[in-house]
């Protein structure tokens, strides 16, 4: 790939940190099974313990509250389906899921139905913030679990997670928070604490979003909270997730987390403002007006009248990797379920673009990026005018 490319898709994934690559190379030399009692097995177990230690420090929880999984998707599935499988109270049959959750939570709905639960959608406002009044009206003593993400992966909107936890707990319901987009970002504190009412019971993270490898996630399971495995087998991960652990991946995840704790990513706020201001001057309409409620490196919105897919293809040719944030099916972008939930029409939803900043995106680089983006926008407008 050319060194001149500008990567603005950090919400999709991030490059591996050198420390993670090194730890993975080292772990590749450790072939022991972490469940074995001999020297080789114990060496492998130490690698996993050290990663778990780093993750629990980053989360601010106990060592034993971290369960390694195969992805953020699996963690969220384990939270929702695992809580449903473990539920022993037959009156609790409702599971409330925000309408803007990632598909890894939304798509548990049919499975929940098969298990005899009633998934209920929590609506959001036009800027994708959860409607707290609607949540108050929906949650009751029949609610097993409420799942609302910490920040939306498309719009970057932070949710009032502490209030959501309080509302859920007032009714004895569990609260699962998908923190895949906020873990180690410093944008807002994770709702993990002294097990207070305003904290979550289950929390999902994924390590490829924080310069670790793909295919490794973790679920925080607050002490005392019960989740049953759907990957059953051995006694790994406190019998919550069977299967010999992904030693190399977990080693890389642990190293990336430790590295972030020692050397946090530079703040991208200034670079974001540089980019956002240039886009605003060219008619860009952000989905969230008040940027205080948005992740530091996140820019999401529309150039009204311009199809996002065409723009993104042109940007890619121009050297910029960006995204719509929405799912891609058969090579074309679907109208985003998040934008539809916010009340946008299908054609408006197909106009939404997302630029997500991370390590290496400086304000100077954002000036170059703005020039390329605006050139593409203007040329698309000109070709529309000719038609």
Ligand X SMILES: Cc1ncc(COP(=O)(O)O)c(C=O)c1O
Are 173 and 89 contacting, i.e. CB atoms less than 8 angstroms apart? no
Rule CB under 6 A: choose which of 66, 78, 79, 104 binds ligand X: 104
DSSP string, 162-181: HHHHHHHHHTT-EEEEE-TT
Catalytic choice (61, 328, 342, 376): 328
* Residue 143 in contact with ligand X, rule: CB under 6 A: no
- Report if residue 181 touches ligand X, rule: CB under 6 A: yes
**Which residue, among 160, 163, 164, 149, has the nearest Cα to 100 in the 3D structure?**
149
Which three-class secondary structure state does DSSP give residue 344? Answer: coil
CA 305 – CA 347 distance, rounded (Å)? 9
| Member of 72, 82, 229, 249 binding ligand X (CB under 6 A) | 72
Distance CA 166, CA 191 (A): 11
Q: Is 352 in the site for ligand X (CB under 6 A)?
A: no
Within 209-238, the residues that bind ligand X by CB under 6 A are 217
The CB-side HSE value for 288 (13 A sphere, CA atoms) comes to 27
Q: Does 106 bind ligand X (CB under 6 A)?
A: no
| Cβ–Cβ < 8 Å for 281, 172 | no
Contact region with ligand X (CB under 6 A), list: 55-63, 71-79, 85-93, 169-177:
71-79
- Residue 333: in which H helix or E strand, if any? strand 332-333
- Is residue 16 near ligand X by the rule CB under 6 A? no
Active site residue 328: yes
CB 243 within 8 A of CB 229: no
Distance, in Å, from the CA atom of 307 to the CA atom of 272, rounded to the nearest integer, reads 23
Give the nearest distance from C-beta 76 to ligand X in angstroms.
6
Mark residues 232-271: x for contact with ligand X by CB under 6 A, - for none.
Answer: ----------------------------------------
Q: Indicate the residue whose CB is closest to ligand X.
A: 72
Which residue stretch of 157-165, 175-183, 230-238, 312-320 sits at the interface with ligand X (rule: CB under 6 A)? 175-183
- Binding residues vs ligand X (CB under 6 A): 71-73, 76, 102, 104, 149, 153, 178, 180-181, 206, 208, 217
Catalytic residues: 328
């Amino acid at each position: 790939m050319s060194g001149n490319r500008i990567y603005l898709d950090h919400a999709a994934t991030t490059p591996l940190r050198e420390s993670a690559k090194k730890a993975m190379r080292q772990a590749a030399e450790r072939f022991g099974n972490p469940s074995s009692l001999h020297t080789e097995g114990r060496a492998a177990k130490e690698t996993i313990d050290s990663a778990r230690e780093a993750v629990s420090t980053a989360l601010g929880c106990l060592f034993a509250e971290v369960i390694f999984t195969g992805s953020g998707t699996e963690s969220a599935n384990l939270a929702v389906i695992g809580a449903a499988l473990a539920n022993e109270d037959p009156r609790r049959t409702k599971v409330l899921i925000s309408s803007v959750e990632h598909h890894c939570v939304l798509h548990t709905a049919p499975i929940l139905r098969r298990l005899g639960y009633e998934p209920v959608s929590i609506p959001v406002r036009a800027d994708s913030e959860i409607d707290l009044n609607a949540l108050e009206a929906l949650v009751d003593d029949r609610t097993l679990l409420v799942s609302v993400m910490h920040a939306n992966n498309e719009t970057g909107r932070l949710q009032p997670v502490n209030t959501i936890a309080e509302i859920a707990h007032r009714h004895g319901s569990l609260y699962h928070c998908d923190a895949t987009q906020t873990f180690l970002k410093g944008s807002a504190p994770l709702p993990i604490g002294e097990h207070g009412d305003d904290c979550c019971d289950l929390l999902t993270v994924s390590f490829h979003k924080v310069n670790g490898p793909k295919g490794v996630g973790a679920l925080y399971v607050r002490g005392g909270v019960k989740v049953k495995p759907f990957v059953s087998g051995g006694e790994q991960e406190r019998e919550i997730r069977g299967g010999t652990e992904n030693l190399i991946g977990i080693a890389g995840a642990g190293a990336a987390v430790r590295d972030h704790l020692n050397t946090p990513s530079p703040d991208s706020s200034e670079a974001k403002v540089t980019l956002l201001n240039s886009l605003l001057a060219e008619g860009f309409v952000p989905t969230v007006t008040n940027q205080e409620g948005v992740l530091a490196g996140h820019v999401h919105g529309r150039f009204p009248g311009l199809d996002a897919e065409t723009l993104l293809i042109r940007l890619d040719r121009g050297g910029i990797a960006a995204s719509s944030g929405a799912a891609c099916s058969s090579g074309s972008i679907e109208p985003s379920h998040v934008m539809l939930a916010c009340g946008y029409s299908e054609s408006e939803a197909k106009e939404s673009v997302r630029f997500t900043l991370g390590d290496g995106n400086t304000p100077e680089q954002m000036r170059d990026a703005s020039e390329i983006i605006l050139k593409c926008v203007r040329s698309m407008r000109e070709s529309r005018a000719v038609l």
